[in-house]
Structure 1
Amino acid sequence: MGRWARRPGRRAAGAGVFFAAGAAATAATVAVLAGASHVAAYVPLPGVLFLVAAVLAAVGAGLVRHPGEEGRALLRVLSRWWVLAGAVLIAVSVWGTTAVLLSLADTAPDAAKRVELRLDAVKTGLTVGAGAAGLVALLLGVRRQWLGERTQAHQEYDAAEKRVTELYIGATGQLGHDRAAVRLAGLYALERVAQDNPEHRQTVVDVICGYLRMPPRPGPAEPPEDAPETDPITDPQELQVRVTAQWILGEHLRWSGSEPVPPAPFWSGIDLDLTGAWLVKLDLGDCRMRRAGFGGAVFEGAARFEGAVFAERAVFGGAAFTGEAVFRHATFEGAAFFDTATFRTAPAFWEARARIVPGTRRSWPEGWGEAADDGSGVAELIRGGSLPVPRAP
């Protein structure tokens, strides 16, 4: 859910308050019909109940319509109909109060007393009208205060978004720098942006994955004698940058099954698109991904996916594993494709599991398949499983 998403809990709370307001109004009506007495002098019980119902109704309306901390309310211009309604309220309050009091004044037996009561009725009516006008002015003041707070909140949000955008643009620009140290700084800056702003995490991950998908920078024409044998064409400093990018992805996608709650650095609901990437000793053990695309990727050294969880789709078709490929205890919740993937050593899928979902297509490495369904809804991967191995379309 995004920052400005409306919280459904407020609507549920508002509905509950509305229900309570209806119950109070019903109780007030019953009290009127039953002829309930006053709670105190000049404090009738039905009046108290009706007042409680009105307050609860106002609170319920605020809960249902107000977006709260995570929502933006649409600004509505004050309509002339509301101005007219305020004027009508003032006029009706004056007329209604005066009419009631004048009717009561007419019941006085003495003519002089009737005149005095009539004058008092007019004065009281005008006082009530002034009070109604004050109420309208109070409502306008509340609206003015709300508009001021809303403007302040929007200014703070825009300032925060501008700062994040500037950090993001600066960090992505650093990734194209010739110096490896500057590229490393760009990666760490992107990590900070994503950690502090959950709504930008997928974008940051996409940028990091895009960097890893680019061909590695070539190293010196004649590499030194102590250069690693697995990457003779790669700049050693560039290798450090790419390993750091991989570490950032693993650090923020890792949530071990032994932890009851996700750790603070964990980023949920992330998609990885590392199609055709060149990856060095990739370690995504205990990581949780929504969709993972490694089609055509080259894994230099060991590739570790122990305990990883692929929530929707895992694509390894055409990938080349030059070292160990470890998928022990991995969980495949959705589709999984390993067709045409090549392995220098035998892949390890011991105790890996695949959730049995009707209609889900999967293709496993040669020699591996899903065991027969034991009724648990989860099939363990075994050598030469009993289920056929479908090919990806």
Structure 2
Amino acid sequence: MRIALSVAVAVVLLLLWQAPAEAGRAAKQAAAAVGREWRWGLTVALGAALAAVWLGPLALRAARRPVPSRWRVPIAITSVLGLGFLTFLWVFHSSSEPASGSRVGPSRSSLAVQSGALVAGLAGGAITVWLNDQRRRHDDEDLAHRREQSTAELAQDRERAEEDRFAKAVELLGHSNASVRVGAMHALAGLARSAEHRTQTIVDVLCAYLRQPFLHYSWDSQPPAVDPAESDYIASLPPEVRASASRELAQKRVAAEREEAKERAEQDREREVRRTALRLVTAMLPRQAPAEGQPPIAVDLTSAHLDDVSFRDLHLQARWAGAHFHGVASLVGAHFHANADLDRAHFHVDASLDGAHFHANAYLDRAHFHADAYLDRAHFHVDASLDGAHFHGVASLVRARFHGDARLDRAHFHANAYLDRAHFHGDASRDGAHFHGVASLDGAHFHGDASLDGAHFHANAYLDRAHFHGGASLDEAHFHGDAWLDGAQFHRVASVDGAQFHGDASLDGAHFHGAASLAAASWAHLSVAGADFCGVVSFPPSLKEAKGATVNARVAVALPDGWRLRTPGGTSELVAPAAPDDDDNHDR
């Protein structure tokens, strides 16, 4: 609209400064003298009007105020009339009156009126278009504002309705009727589906319900309803009172059995309620990793007593310190984001964590696995701490990967422990650990330092083909059974100071790239057949078999009495002492 007005003003100014063509020379001079005054005045007036048209809305917009609607029509009428009047004046003063009796054209006043009406009409049309556009914009803005207000009101109503549903459902969780409690839990789960931002709050409420004290009669031995000593006491009574005492005891036993049956029925109902709560919690957990910057859903089951649980392939944050899992715990493929706290947790039945991922620190200190524990192919992406943990059943960590430090100090493996082909990328510590069953670490890789100081292997220990890329320390370790390290690779120093090998120890085919002080340990029977010793080495007197073993003669080598080195073709081989009836004695 403003562009149209600017074009109209430009046309007016062009006509204003153009001299009339039909005037004579004297008339042109007179018109020019008179018209110059009008032209300058009209030019200033039109320039001021044009500046008001362009700068007025800008000034109001700069002040963050739209043009008031009550001003728009008066401004439009004034502008139209002003342009029409100015055009009338310009045409009237710039044109000459036709000669008397001439029929060439209209009179000067008619021409001025027609020109003013034409310009006013054009300006009025342009201003009408502008006013309609302003009205449409105002209506759109008003509609958008009403929509925003309606949306906000709907959101507030929805928020109030959700709050009411949440409060009523939480209140019903304390109802004495088990079916009412189950219904309240389903109501909370439905609210979580319709309002995802409340999922964490609802999970917290259900977990708080599960943390309430509860023990099922099938989880623990129950005392007898009637003390057996009472029967013995009645048998010792005189015959005249024994019958009445027996009847009282029978009545007492019947009442106790009824009460026990009632309690057990209530415990069964509560058990089903808790199973429902646990199923709803797992149903609310995602199967995809949380978006960047979004925290995982925390499941706080601290000190809770639970039945069968399944978090298979789910993503969560576990806070399970002191929890008791009385049923099968299936955590296969689960992803634990943030620190996983399972300190002092008790798994009374089999625990399966095959392929589980611990993306932050994993704390299982003093945890008890009363049955078998399966952690095959589990990934510990940061540090893993199992200090003082007890594995009462089979412990399987085959192909497990510890990307940070792994601590199993003072851990107890009461049955067989399998860590075959496991990878320890950080430092691995098993100081003071007890392996009461077979300990198998075949093909395990220790990329950092490995410490088994003071560890006790009560049965056979298998470390065949194990790789110790850092330092290996077995100081004060006790191997009560056979120790097999055939083909093991020690890339740095191997320390066995004070270690005791009570059974057969085999280092056949092992490679020691650093120093190995084997004489500092106590060996019942040591075999190093085919082993390579590239660094400083000392052998104990109990060395029995060394066929094919080679040492580096350029470094210090301490041999037992009677043993010697033979260097055929530049290699140094260990030679056992000659038999007593062997006539061929060679000096070292």
- TM-score normalised by the chain length of structure 2: 0.42
Match of 2:356 in 1: 330
User: What SS does structure 2 have at the residue aligned with 1:272?
Assistant: strand
Partner in structure 1 of residue 6 of structure 2? none
| 1:137-177: CA deviation from partner (whole Å, max 9, x where unpaired) | 33222222223222322232223222222221111111111
2:284 is paired with a residue of what secondary structure?
helix
Highest CA radius of gyration, 1 or 2?
A: 2
1:235 paired with 2:281, answer no
What is the aligned partner in structure 2 of residue 5 from structure 1? Answer: none
Aligned to 2:117: 119
Question: How many aligned residue pairs are there?
Answer: 288
**Distance in 2 between the 1:254 and 1:352 partners?**
20
Q: Give the 3 Å change call, closer, same or farther, for CA 161–372 of structure 1 in structure 2.
A: closer
- 1:97–1:183 distance in 2 versus 1, CA, 3 Å: same
Partner of 1:32: none
Provide the secondary structure at the position in 2 that maps to 1:216. coil
The letter for the 1-side match of 2:209 is Y
CA deviation vs aligned residue, 1:46-97 (integer Å, no higher than 9, x gap): xxxxxxxxxxxxxxxxxxxxxxxxxxxxxxxxx8822359948984896499
Query: 2:384, 2:402 within 8 Å by CA — same for their partners in 1?
Result: no
What does residue 252 of structure 1 align with? 284
Q: C-alpha separation between the residues in 1 aligned to 2:144 and 2:358?
A: 50
Q: What amino acid does structure 1 have at the position aligned with 2:378?
A: A
1:319 aligns with 2:303: no
Amino acid at match of 1:192: G
Q: Shift of residue 100 of structure 1?
A: 10
Q: Counterpart of 2:208?
A: 210
Q: In the alignment, what sits opposite 2:145?
A: 147
- SS of 2:337 mapped into structure 1: strand
Structure 1 pair 311/115, CA: closer, same or farther in 2 (3 Å)? same
Change (3 A) 1:83 1:218: farther
Name which of 378, 387, 404 aligns with 1:352. Answer: 378
Tell me, in whole angstroms, the C-alpha distance in 2 between the residues paired with 1:295 and 1:88. 73
Deviation at 1:205, TM superposition (A): 0.7
Residue of structure 2 aligned with 1:201, choices 181, 186, 199: 199
Task: Check conservation: 2:366, 2:386, Cα contact below 8 A.
Answer: no
Which residue is equivalent to 2:304? 277
Question: Are 1:170 and 2:168 counterparts?
Answer: yes
Superposition CA RMSD, Å: 4.1
% identity of equivalent residues: 22
1:361 and 2:383 are equivalent in the alignment: yes
State the partner residue of 1:305. Answer: 331
Q: Contact 1:94/1:129 (CA < 8 Å) preserved in 2?
A: no
Identify, as 1 or 2, the structure richer in helix: 1
Rate the CA distance shift 1:280–1:328 in 2: closer, same or farther, 3 A.
same
State the structure with bigger RCO (CA 8 A, min sep 6), 1 or 2. Answer: 1
- The structure that is strand-richer by fraction is 2
Contact 2:336 2:360 in 1 (8 A): yes
TM-score of the two chains, using structure 1 as the length reference: 0.61
Any unmatched runs of 5+ in structure 2? 1-62, 97-107, 226-255, 290-294, 390-394, 404-417, 431-588
Distance 2:348 2:359 in 1: 26
Output the CA distance in 1 between the equivalents of 2:153 and 2:211. 38
- Secondary structure of residue in 1 paired with 2:65: helix
Cα distance change of structure 1 residues 233 and 273 upon mapping to structure 2, 3 Å threshold: farther
> Is the 8 Å Cα contact of residues 328 and 349 (structure 2) preserved in structure 1?
yes
Change (3 A) 1:154 1:187: same
Q: Indicate which of 314, 335, 351 corresponds to 1:287.
A: 314
SS of 1:296 mapped into structure 2 = coil
Contact preservation (8 Å) 1:101, 1:121: no
Once the two structures are TM-superposed, the CA of residue 340 in structure 1 deviates from its matched residue by: 1.5
SS of equivalent to 1:334: coil
Question: Structure 1 residues 101 and 302, CA, compared in 2 at 3 Å: closer, same or farther?
Answer: farther
**Alignment check: 8 A CA contact 2:378 2:401 kept:** no
SS for the counterpart of 2:332 is: coil
Contact 1:364–1:389 (CA<8 Å) still a contact in 2?
A: no
**What is the CA–CA distance in structure 2 between the aligned matches of 1:185 and 1:324, rounded to whole Å?**
31
> Aligned pair in 2 of structure 1 residues 99, 171: CA closer, same or farther (>3 Å)?
same
| Residues 229-255 of structure 1 deviation map (CA, whole Å, 9 limit, x = unaligned) | xx9798111111111111112233263
Aligned residue for 1:183? 181
Q: Which residue of 2 aligns with 1:74?
A: none
